[in-house]
Amino acid sequence: MRKPHKKINHLVEDRVYGSKKLSQFINYIMWDGKKTIAEKIVYGALDIIAEKEDVKNPIVIFEEAMKNAGPEMEVKSRRVGGANYQVPIPVKVERQTSLAMRWIIDAARNGKGKSMAELLADELIIASKGEGTAVTKKINTHKMAEANKAFAHFAW
C-alpha cells in the first residue's frame, strides 16, 4: 500500500522583498512562534549584507548562498542482505533548499560574540562566495556520495 501524499503548505511571500524562499527562511529561524523576532533577525541580516557588499538587492546574495549550500547528491542507508550500504541518491529541489537553509542557520547559531543578525549576514556572504561551514558540509556530503558510488545500484 502506498503512503498518502504529504500535505504541502503554500507559503506567503514576505512583506519586504516579496520572496517565498525568504519567507520560508524566516520560518526556519523562528523559535517558539516568535515570528516578529525572526523577521527582525533576517531583515537585519539583509540590511547588513546590503551595507557590506554594497548591493541594492541583498536577495541576490541570499539566493546565491542557497544555491551554493544546497547539495545535489546525498547518501541514505539501505539494508541489503544483512549489510548496511550508504547509497547515493539525488536530492529533490525542495530538500536542497531546506538543507541549505538548515545548514546556514546552524552555522550562524554556532557563532559566538556577535548578534544573530550579524552572524547570519556573515554566513550568507561567505556561502554566496562558495566558502564557509554550510558549503563545507555540502562538499562533505558530495564526497560521501562519490565514495559510495559503487552502491548506486542498490537505490530504490
Residue ranges and CATH numbers for the domains of the chain are 20-154 (1.10.455.10)
Q: At what angle do helices 20-29 and 93-109 cross, to 10 degrees?
A: 40
Residue 154 pLDDT > 80: no
pLDDT tens, residue by residue, 113-123: 999 999 999 99
| Band of residue 153 on the pLDDT scale cut at 50, 70, 90 | confident
- The CA dihedral of 35, 40, 43, 47, to the nearest 10 degrees, is -170
Q: Is the pTM higher than 0.85? A: yes
pLDDT tens, residue by residue, 63-92: 999 999 999 999 999 888 888 888 999 999
pLDDT tens, residue by residue, 23-53: 999 999 999 999 999 999 999 999 999 999 8
